[in-house]
Amino acid sequence: MTGHGARSLHARVGVMFAVGGLLLAVVLGISTAVLVYPVMMDQRARTTERQVEINSRIVGQVLRDAPSGVADTLRSLDRPIPSYSLVATDGRWYASRVTADAADLPADLRAAALDGQRATRRVQLAAGPSLVAVRPLAGGAAGYVEVFPPARHRRHHAGRGAGAAPRGHSDNRGRGGPRALGGAFGAAAGGGVDRRRGCGRRR
């Protein structure tokens, strides 16, 4: 074999190894993603559920013990996964940021909050697909809502000041209030609306 032929063979072998290595890396990357992604989504869903339950209990306690502190409490809630909150009580809505508006939520989720029901649903808001969780407070006499914006929306609004402000409503289905910047958090939630009556709802 001539020197030129040997070099050509070596080049072809080198290209084959390079292509094989690239294909192997792609296969390993896809396999890792397929295995890890469901675990990450499950962990995120669990974290979100835990965050909603803890925050709703805190707000419910404040409503029972010091109702005038609801606005400050909403601002101070711990949010490992960025979100914003609204509370419906006595015909009024309170929000953790002045730009959040209950009117931007679907009517059935506003009704769930006002009626002291439990609901979790992924919806389309102005900022994108959103996870909205509703929990009954004060024995069903009030409702807590937590909305999880999409990542791009959270980055865009990172660092902006948040202020909780009450908004009055004459309509018991929650129209009016501050302007919502609601969003979504992607695949951690899904399925239809889950609405259950809160225990001991005020009649």
198, 116 contact by CB (below 8 A): yes
pTM higher than 0.75 = no
Out of 2-6, 97-101, 123-127, 173-177, which region has the weakest mean confidence (pLDDT)?
Answer: 173-177
Residue with tokens 């995120």: 44
Which has more pLDDT, 37 or 174?
37
Task: Give the pLDDT of residue 199.
Answer: 39
Residue with tokens 């969780």: 133
Domains in the chain with CATH codes: 39-197 (3.30.450)
- Write out pLDDT tens, residues 10-34: 777 777 878 888 888 887 788 777 7
Out of 38-47, 110-119, 191-200, which region has the weakest mean confidence (pLDDT)?
Answer: 191-200
Residue 181: pLDDT above 60? no
Average pLDDT over residues 72-81: 94
Integer Cα distance of 131 and 147 in angstroms: 6
Please state the length of the chain: 203
DSSP state of 132: E
Q: What Rg do the C-alpha atoms of the chain give, in angstroms? A: 25
